[in-house]
Structure 1
Amino acid sequence: MAVPAMAQDITLRATANSNENDEDYDGLVVFKNYVESASNGAIAVELFIGTQLCSAPDECIQGVADGSIDIYISTSSGLANIVPYVQIFDLPYLMSDDRIAEEVLTSTDLTNQLRERILEDTGGAVRLMTIGNTGGWRNFANTQKRIETPTDLEGMKIRTVVADLPQELVRALGASPTPIPWPELFTSLQTGVVEGSKNGITDIMGMKFPDAGLQYMTLDGHAYMGALWIMNNEAFQSMPDDLKRVVVDGFAQLQQATFASPKRKSIQAYEDFVAGGGDLYVPTPEQKQAFQDAASPVYDWFAENVDGGEEMLANFRAAIAEAEESVNARRETDMN
């Protein structure tokens, strides 16, 4: 016998290893408000921000897989230990701007392809619900000097995450990749253990990295900071269809919130960076092309060394081409 939606008593535990100033939190607030309202209270969403439920990505993802956590947001590097092909979002200089990136994530089949593959590779335990943004675009920032071309990075110690692909990118540009845990980065910059990092401006200002000497930033926009929102698949599948729809629509609302939040927050963040004495540099088109050319070996490395990498890189490039065609057609229409 079908159970009416109003009779349901579902609680979803959602966590993000960030803080209440972060885009992830903004997205979760929108998700919680929508889901609880649209379900007429049949679904409650509990938010756990920071490390209340789990601290490391592997621990949090395992929590989603075993059902102790219902919803978690991971960066591509965090999820890469489980499904390495999600590092496509760390591949440099493939998507040109926010409009193209958002078109890829909302109007192509890329997210569905990733969802099916992640479900298969986790034994049906982990379901990708949507992909948003967490912090805008990754740019190179450092404590030493202005970076205008790839040669300016040569020999510099750049902080990366543990994942292989970001290290391969830094190495391809002539710098030395140095994996450092996020909580240790401030001290590492301050003491010279590393001389630079690759982050978005909201993260840089939120963590007060300029106080540790990070005073030079180059807006090369080498990677879109994708936010992969995952959910325990059993928790999702156990819902009746009307509540599944509410949750799916809630994630669509969340996605839009995370697209918008970094754009707004970055305005003040850039102003504060410059006001504090920061040097903000925008590469010329020729200089940006030089960065892309220098980074090209990373694509081959990904295709050859990541399980499923060649197929996923082809899928990603096809989705980008489809998005560019669609966006450019609308641009032409709007301009005429």
Structure 2
Amino acid sequence: MSRLPLPVAPRTALVGAALAAALVASASTQAATTMRIAHLNPPDPTASNSGAMTAVFKQLVETATNGEIQIEIFPAGQLGEDANVINQVGQGIVQSTISSAGGVAEHYPRIGIFDIPFAFPNIAVATEVIDLDSDFGKALAEDLEAETDGLKVLGLLDSGGFFQFTNSQRPIETTDDMDGLRIRTMTLPTHEAMINALGAEATPLAWSEVYTALQTGVADGQMNPIQQTSFANFDEVQSYLTVSNHLITPYIWLINEDFYNGLDPEQQKVIDWAADVAVDAGRSMSRIIEASDNGLPKLADGMEVNAITPEARQAFIDKAQPAVREVISERYGSEGEALLASMLDAIDAADAP
């Protein structure tokens, strides 16, 4: 199987570039057991799943190794956008990152198989399937590692729950309400195909640009889990929230393969164990945020909330699923179709009584 080269990183923000340069400059003086982890979300462990994961991981690793491994955390996109940070992990500048599907897609396009709309019936099934201990999770990790250079999958979980729509124009109750809305998406062809098939206009933008785009009208709306919509304060620039549960995508926790292999066996065991516990903490924090005053209740204070009915849901499926399947077939070929089939089989098995 051919290996996909890591793409050259585009120019990042000055702060991210400066931090990355500083890390390179200090590499010769830093202890070999310093592990730097980057993620896009707030550092507060009660505000985001990746904040919780990195806080728990740091405490467990540093305690269990008696300080032999020190964890440095770079939250809130300090080192740049997802795809750029994955480059840094592959090059060993940063040892680890928790990345969204949008960032991973530039290095491993087949992550787009998760974008079949309404594929996961509930969060319990998603939790069972999107897990490094599941048969599907193991297969996904092996495929990603085979197709990239220098990357190892350390953890796999949902990115914060099901995606919901928000917009500034009107409630979304049927597919007709999507007509003409400019919806921000990740830079994923599957996301763009889904939105366009529903009659809206896909507007792919980097995460750092979304708030301003919604504020200025460059985009009318966006789609994200409740967690991200809340901590990004999109309720300040959006009027309507539609509980659609149309997608659930993974966060993939990556570690530099050479760094991991350079640890002794006992240190590797600590890293693996701490990552397992941290992933569980991240999943739990996502559910807590959704149910807390920082989740849907907060958003409902500033936005009108509605849910898509089961009857209307089928029309969304009929329009969106064929378009996304076509993209998967055309762009990812037989290997992508096989991975998609494996995921759908795992969903069916998990959903069986």
What is the distance in 2 between the residues matched to 1:39 and 1:324? 40
Give the structure 2 partner of residue 319 of structure 1.
Answer: 346
State yes or no: 1:232 paired with 2:259. Answer: no
Contact in 2 for aligned 1:170/1:177 (Cα 8 Å): yes
Aligned residue for 1:132, secondary structure, equals strand
Q: Deviations over 1:38-72 (max 9, x none)?
A: 233332211111343x2022220111111111110
Q: Deviations over 1:167-192 (max 9, x none)?
A: 01101111111122322222222222
Amino acid at match of 2:342: N
Give the structure 2 partner of residue 166 of structure 1.
Answer: 191
Give the structure 2 partner of residue 27 of structure 1.
Answer: 53
Give the structure 2 partner of residue 5 of structure 1.
Answer: none
What is the distance in 1 between the residues matched to 2:103 and 2:311? 33
After TM superposition, give the deviation of residue 101 of structure 1 in Å: 0.6
Residue number among 312, 318, 327 corresponding to 1:301 in the alignment: 327
After TM superposition, give the deviation of residue 9 of structure 1 in Å: 6.6
Aligned residue for 2:180, secondary structure, equals coil
* Structure 2: 5+ residue stretches without partners: 1-30
CA root-mean-square deviation = 1.7
* Structure 1: 5+ residue stretches without partners: 1-7, 329-336
Amino acid at match of 1:77: G
Amino acid at match of 1:150: T
Q: Deviations over 1:106-162 (max 9, x none)?
A: 352122112211221123x10111112333211111111111111210121111122
After TM superposition, give the deviation of residue 304 of structure 1 in Å: 2.6
Q: Calculate percent identity across the aligned residue pairs.
A: 29
Contact in 1 for aligned 2:126/2:158 (Cα 8 Å): no
What is the distance in 2 between the residues matched to 1:120 and 1:182? 28
- TM-score, scaled relative to structure 1: 0.89
Q: Deviations over 1:297-329 (max 9, x none)?
A: 11232123225311211111122122223xx3x
Contact in 2 for aligned 1:76/1:90 (Cα 8 Å): no
State yes or no: 1:192 paired with 2:230. Answer: no
State yes or no: 1:39 paired with 2:65. Answer: yes
Give the structure 1 partner of residue 285 of structure 2.
Answer: 261
Give the structure 1 partner of residue 23 of structure 2.
Answer: none
After TM superposition, give the deviation of residue 240 of structure 1 in Å: 2.0
Off by >4 Å, runs of 4+ in structure 1: none
Amino acid at match of 1:309: G
Matches within 5 A, 1:142-291: 142-212=167-237, 214-267=238-291, 268=293, 269-276=295-302, 278-291=303-316
- TM-score, scaled relative to structure 2: 0.85
Count of aligned positions: 315
Instruction: Choose between structure 1 and 2: higher strand proportion.
Output: 1
What is the distance in 2 between the residues matched to 1:120 and 1:200? 30
Contact in 2 for aligned 1:134/1:258 (Cα 8 Å): no
Q: Deviations over 1:242-286 (max 9, x none)?
A: 22111111111111111111111122221112222x111122222
Contact in 2 for aligned 1:147/1:153 (Cα 8 Å): yes
Aligned residue for 1:223, secondary structure, equals coil
Contact in 2 for aligned 1:133/1:255 (Cα 8 Å): no
